[in-house]
Amino acid sequence: MKFALLLQLLDESKNDISKTTALLRYSKSQSQDHVLDLFRFFQSIRSKKICTTQDLLIWTKEICNLPDWLFEKSLSHCNDVLDAINLLLPINVESVKLTLPYVQNLYTLKFNDENQIKEFVTKQWSLLDHDIDRYFFNRIITGNFRLKISDLILFDFLAAYFETTRINISIFHALNLLHSKSDIKKQLKTGKSKALIKKFEPVKEVEYIEVNIEELSLHEYYVVTPIWIGVEIQIIKFNHDIIIWDLTKQIKIYIEEFLYQKFKSRDEDFIVNAIYISSKSQNSKSNTYIIITDFISIGQNIEFSKSLQKQTNFIEQWILSLDEREGIYSNECLNFQNHIELSTYYNQMDLNKYVSILVELPDESKRILRPELFQLKAVLLYAQKKDQTFSHYYDQYTFGVLQLSTIVPIVKLDADLEETEVIEIHQFILENTIERFGPVRSISPQLIFNLQYSRIERSKRHKSGIILKNAKIISTSFHSALDELSRLSHIVQKAIMEEEN
């Protein structure tokens, strides 16, 4: 399979499996070094704009030497301008294929002026295969090639190629051990029932020790009270890695992903996907392990779309800035004989501790229970489609509350609801639209929603003067009246009282 065909398959694929399959098909005829280069290329790919589509049209017209009316007529027969340009350009008898090294080189090119760019582009047109190779060349140089493949797909692809598991690939990638099949198989000789332990020695080289995972048994489910992360814990975060920190020995253990059940732990300061296990002795703090699998956010106004190095640096700086605290979490194992005992404890939970209960149900499914925070009633004011291309329904809503005798916008939320509810709301929006502003519809204020939030922050940028943190939609209330709406003054007053308490 040629590289341009791979780009086409990835561009047209709508699901992860087809993308992984396309990558594997392409890699069958490639060397291991080429496959690893491919992996790194898709991890770091960015849009590269050398010239505009309008420039390509002007140069194409000069090469084709067509009258204006015929040139315009030719363009109108194609939905894609770049595809039309490719069809109008002369067919090359002896052509060059678009390859991975060729595309990698495109991202490094620099030009002094427009004449250099024109000379380069027209020369490549005369060399490249007129099929899809030249088409993707045009997309890349105009910045219209925005193919983004998630790390999950890339790790699945490499795991299948190297005949191992996704978690091992992510570990080897994080530790810069992705070199060849023989190296990876050598690292995997311990088998599924073993773990890799990395000792942190400031001077000595990294040492790997085999440990039987069966010595670490899954224990009861805990009530988890988040406290601060202690400064004595060494934080190193890698995408998709499963990492365990021994709270006293400074040992990091990598464990096979499929052996443990994941669940989410959430509080005001950070949100993580985590797995909690304990060794046989529950008395010592050093025998409790926390596996962190994915940081979403830490602290306020931190968006973890940044690079891995920036994430790691921020976490380290954040920990060093804290006062010395005891431990990462305080874990308490509670046993409930029935649902009444559980409900009683749940209703008496201290909101200030942000306690979560993980409950294992009879059907072996897991549920996380959290105390309800603040609630309010707000009316739907505006609606739009979150994704204008693929959304069939209006699924992003702006809500308002009462301020004196008027309604002011207070929060904008995605529709985290069942599909039947979204369809019902969508129909209401269509029937009660007052006016439209591009993709946004202004809705007659009739439909009331019950919302939940954890706290508020002051904001001069927002009309209401506040921001609702961790807000979400609880339910719709088609039969509520406007006089049941929450008042902005009451929301602010409630927040002030909570701060004083």
pLDDT tens, position by position, 20-51: 888 988 988 888 888 888 888 887 777 778 88
Separation between Cα atoms, residue 117 and residue 98, nearest integer Å: 18
pLDDT at residue 137 is higher than 70: yes
Averaged confidence pLDDT in the chain: 65
pLDDT at residue 240 is higher than 80: no
pLDDT given for residue 380 in this prediction: 93
Segment 151-155 mean pLDDT: 78
Are 186 and 196 contacting, i.e. CB atoms less than 8 angstroms apart?
no
pLDDT given for residue 388 in this prediction: 62
Separation between Cα atoms, residue 187 and residue 256, nearest integer Å: 14
Task: Say which range, 82-91, 97-106, 117-126, 193-202, has the weakest mean pLDDT.
Answer: 193-202
Segment 267-293 mean pLDDT: 33
**Angle between helix 151-162 and helix 166-174 axes, rounded to 10 deg:** 100
Q: HSE (CB half, 13 Å, CA atoms) of 21?
A: 8
**Higher per-residue pLDDT: 185 or 61:** 61
Q: What is the dihedral of CA 86, 89, 94, 96, to 10 degrees?
A: -40
For the chain, domain boundaries: 3-141, 193-368, 374-500
Segment 255-273 mean pLDDT: 30
Q: How confident is the model at residue 253 (pLDDT cuts 50, 70, 90)?
A: very low
Segment 114-139 mean pLDDT: 84
State whether CATH 2.40.50.140 applies to domain 374-500. yes
Separation between Cα atoms, residue 414 and residue 397, nearest integer Å: 6
Q: How confident is the model at residue 182 (pLDDT cuts 50, 70, 90)?
A: low
Q: What is the pLDDT of residues 309-356, one digit of tens each?
A: 454 454 444 444 433 333 333 333 445 555 565 556 555 544 333 344
Q: Rounded to whole angstroms, what are the CA distances from 418 to 278, 422, 435?
A: 36, 6, 27
pLDDT at residue 232 is higher than 90: no
pLDDT given for residue 433 in this prediction: 92
Residues 6+ apart with CB under 8 A from 488: 401, 402, 403, 408, 410, 464, 465, 466
pLDDT given for residue 194 in this prediction: 33
Amino acid at 34: H
Are 229 and 321 contacting, i.e. CB atoms less than 8 angstroms apart?
no
Separation between Cα atoms, residue 169 and residue 156, nearest integer Å: 8
Q: What is the pLDDT of residues 46-87, one digit of tens each?
A: 777 888 888 888 888 888 887 878 878 777 777 778 888 878
Are 486 and 379 contacting, i.e. CB atoms less than 8 angstroms apart?
no
> What proportion of the chain, given as a percentage, has pLDDT over 70?
56
Other Cβ atoms closer than 10 A to 3: 20
pLDDT at residue 242 is higher than 60: no
Q: HSE (CB half, 13 Å, CA atoms) of 411?
A: 26
Strand partners, 458: 466
pLDDT at residue 122 is higher than 90: no
pLDDT at residue 472 is higher than 70: yes
Separation between Cα atoms, residue 15 and residue 365, nearest integer Å: 27
Task: Say which range, 75-79, 123-127, 440-444, has the weakest mean pLDDT.
Answer: 75-79
